[in-house]
Amino acid sequence: MIVTDPRYVLSGQTESELPELHLGPNHHCFSVGETGCHVFLPGGAELLFPRGAVATTVRLKWGEKRPNRKWVWLEEHDFLLSRPLELLPHGTAFLEPVEVCVPYHRSRRGEVVVRRFDGQSWSTLPTVTRRGSQRHSVRPGGRPAWLACCSVRQFSWFVAISRLVRDSCSVSPEGALTAPSCFSWCVVSILVQNGCRCITQVLQVEVSEVKNLTGDPQASVSPLLCISQSPSMPFLQPITVQVPLPSGLTGHTVDVSCLYLLHRDQAAQNWTDVTPQSSLQITHIYAIFTVTHFSWYWLWYTTKRSVSGVVRKVYHRLRQFRVQFFVLQRKSDPMQVLLQCLPTGKVDSAVQSLSALYEGPLPSDLCELMEGEQFFAGFERGIDINTDRPDCTEGRLSFVFYSHLKNHKEVYICPSQGTREPVRGQVSFYRGEMPSDIPPEVAKKRKGHDSQWLATLPLRLPGVLSDKGEWEELQYPPLNLGDPESGYLTEANLLAISLQIGQDWRSIGINLGISYQELDRIQYKHRDNLGGVVLEMLFHWARQGGGAGPGAVPKLVEAMVESGRRDLADEIEDIVNLGKRKYRESLRRVGLEAVSTE
């Protein structure tokens, strides 16, 4: 394989190792031949093509996309650990299995697995975890990324997920005993007719947190136990389950009248007290009971009498994260705003790392969100943003909370209606759609617009000064890029896109037809200000005729694709399609009005 671009680094092949291909951040295409290749992607991902994986040299692509809560499949107690990695072309069949290694943010609980989306459904793949190659560090001088690796014969979408440890065993018709590897004191005795596979999962629970949530100082619980089977079939007799007594209790000290066995119905999303039907027996350190079907089981000790409702609310709280919101404005450009939501333990370090370039109010008070829950940011009291964005709904910016990801966006804001005076506005955060499995007690409290409110933080824009003060009027007059046939991009659209270009600006500028000399002039004019460089480059192209007339938007999309920024090309197309749809709807409204007046 011959690689001429200096941003590609290819080592010589020996008998014992594959040739290496290191891709730069703005290169999303690569070729693999029959000799195989070890491909290093920006961000830490690795692809290993063994010898003979392809018969001839093939052209492949990679990309990342923003996770969508309706697209990424998460089960209960799952956590998303990576952005979706897309490998193209989809469905490409390899002669030998190819190893796909997805970088992920480490999780202290559960096991890490790779899930694949084939365009129609999700599947969980056998996964091993390891450190990445020492020759491919995510940060210069830093440690290699953690990788979740799987073997596949076709390309599609891949994500890393943390889930509860799953232990499975084969059950013969004679029956079997099984115990989870992470909790060996739990024993399940099974007897079926034709055999099956039994799967057990255990969720450890902090007793101190249960006491705080219930207000019962004597409350204690055992770990949650989930038992399932594949395939599903009737049992020949009730199944015997043995679990340890709740923490701090023994068979001699426990008050049996305060001991409850709770069963969770997956379909009804509810917890039910099944103590009378379970033949609960107590030994010195164990509780033994029988069940007729598999699901979630939880042993509780509490003086509360309405135990099912208490357990339902506690279980819901255990699935929530305590989070804080913060909003920061760039010191050199207060119109550029960063919004982020993180678990409270990560907020201080994140704000500190951004303090050199950004400033803003203190983070919000504690709020609670679930993994994959949607929330919105609304700019209020004299502050506007561009709402012609795919991630805007009814004027609010849409987010999805993932506890192990950054959950942040950067936007440009402006005073409402061209205000020249200083603006003291605010940004408020609101909940999105209600999760389907939320307890009824919680759902009743989340009805109506005001009850969706989470937090509000202040934002300030200085007034426009004409004497070279701390804030000047916009350098450029209003701009609309494009034409009716191919669609328009507004100045606000360009500002939003510029925030995501980063170090790819020069490659994009070249593909837009801007000369090297002009790019050097722009870089020198805005040295030490990458945002200014990107804006100057985009507006220079738009003002010099490249953005005028038919085909301007397709040309910008093509430049993004050629520069390896398929993600930005998709976003531009989404913005344009949204604008076209709004335009057609306005025409239909006008047409209807004309008919009605006749």
Is 158 in the same domain as 171? no
Is 37 in the same domain as 97? yes
Supply the CATH number for residue 449's domain: 2.60.40.2660
When mean pLDDT is compared across 141-145, 238-242, 334-338, 398-402, the lowest value belongs to: 141-145
Average pLDDT of span 421-434: 85
pLDDT averaged over every residue in the chain: 79
User: What is 402-426 written as a DSSP string?
Assistant: -TTS--EEEEEEEEGGG--S-EEEE
Contact 315, 270 (CB under 8 A): no
* Greatest mean pLDDT range, 47-51, 167-171, 287-291: 47-51
Contact 351, 328 (CB under 8 A): yes
Reported as a pLDDT band with limits 50, 70 and 90, residue 379 is very high
For residue 477, the model assigns a pLDDT of: 46
Of 187, 255, 189, 181, the C-alpha closest to 218 is 255
Q: Kindly state whether residue 141 falls inside one of the protein's structural domains.
A: yes
Is 64 in the same domain as 86? yes
Residue 92 is part of which domain span?
Answer: 9-163
Is 336 in the same domain as 309? no
Q: Kindly state whether residue 510 falls inside one of the protein's structural domains.
A: yes
Is 326 in the same domain as 312? no
163, 186, 203 — which closes off a domain?
163
In the chain, the percentage of residues whose pLDDT exceeds 70 is: 78
Task: Tally the C-alpha atoms within 13 A of residue 351's C-alpha that lie toward its C-beta.
Answer: 19
Q: Kindly state whether residue 590 falls inside one of the protein's structural domains.
A: no
pLDDT 10s digits, 313-366: 888 888 899 999 999 998 888 888 999 999 999 999 999 999 988 999 999 999
pLDDT 10s digits, 535-561: 888 888 877 765 555 677 888 888 888
Reported as a pLDDT band with limits 50, 70 and 90, residue 174 is low
pLDDT at 137 over 80: no
Question: What pTM value is reported for the model?
Answer: 0.75
What is the C-alpha radius of gyration for the chain, rounded to an integer number of angstroms?
29
Query: Tokens representing 348?
Result: 């201080």
* Greatest mean pLDDT range, 3-17, 35-49, 260-274, 440-454: 35-49
Q: Which residue has the tokens 């480059």?
A: 537
d(CA 18, CA 12): 8
For residue 37, the model assigns a pLDDT of: 92
When mean pLDDT is compared across 345-359, 470-484, 545-559, 578-592, the lowest value belongs to: 470-484
Average pLDDT of span 365-375: 92
Supply the CATH number for residue 93's domain: 2.60.220.30
Q: Kindly state whether residue 466 falls inside one of the protein's structural domains.
A: no
When mean pLDDT is compared across 254-268, 338-352, 574-588, the lowest value belongs to: 574-588
When mean pLDDT is compared across 37-51, 284-298, 365-379, 546-560, the lowest value belongs to: 546-560
Query: Tokens representing 271?
Result: 């917890």
For residue 254, the model assigns a pLDDT of: 85
pLDDT at 519 over 60: yes
Supply the CATH number for residue 531's domain: 1.10.533.10
Is 552 in the same domain as 406? no
When mean pLDDT is compared across 16-20, 46-50, 97-101, 153-157, the lowest value belongs to: 16-20
For residue 36, the model assigns a pLDDT of: 92
Reported as a pLDDT band with limits 50, 70 and 90, residue 248 is confident
Between these two residues, 483 and 428, which has the higher pLDDT value? 428
Between these two residues, 474 and 590, which has the higher pLDDT value? 590
Q: Kindly state whether residue 25 falls inside one of the protein's structural domains.
A: yes
Is 314 in the same domain as 328? no
Of 157, 208, 180, the C-alpha closest to 110 is 180
Between these two residues, 127 and 307, which has the higher pLDDT value? 127
Of 417, 578, 397, the C-alpha closest to 489 is 578
318, 345, 372 — which closes off a domain?
318
For residue 382, the model assigns a pLDDT of: 87
When mean pLDDT is compared across 80-89, 173-182, 448-457, the lowest value belongs to: 173-182
104, 134, 163 — which closes off a domain?
163
Task: Tally the C-alpha atoms within 13 A of residue 74's C-alpha that lie toward its C-beta.
Answer: 27
d(CA 11, CA 14): 9
Angle at which helices 552-562 and 566-597 pack, to 10 degrees?
Answer: 160
Is 151 in the same domain as 29? yes
Average pLDDT of span 246-251: 86
pLDDT at 463 over 70: no
Between these two residues, 459 and 531, which has the higher pLDDT value? 459
Is 533 in the same domain as 423? no
Average pLDDT of span 382-404: 85
pLDDT at 120 over 90: no
d(CA 414, CA 329): 12
For residue 563, the model assigns a pLDDT of: 83
For residue 540, the model assigns a pLDDT of: 83
Distances (CA, A) of 528 to 133, 260, 358, 503, 524: 32, 64, 15, 13, 9
For residue 9, the model assigns a pLDDT of: 37
Pairing assessment for the beta strands 37-40 and 20-22 based on DSSP bridges: parallel
For residue 178, the model assigns a pLDDT of: 58
Reported as a pLDDT band with limits 50, 70 and 90, residue 585 is confident
For residue 96, the model assigns a pLDDT of: 93
d(CA 554, CA 310): 57
pLDDT at 443 over 60: no
Q: Kindly state whether residue 597 falls inside one of the protein's structural domains.
A: no
d(CA 441, CA 312): 9
* Residue 548 β-bridge partners: 482
Is 484 in the same domain as 571? yes
For residue 234, the model assigns a pLDDT of: 64
* Number of domains the chain contains: 4
Query: Tokens representing 153?
Result: 């014969």
Q: Kindly state whether residue 2 falls inside one of the protein's structural domains.
A: no
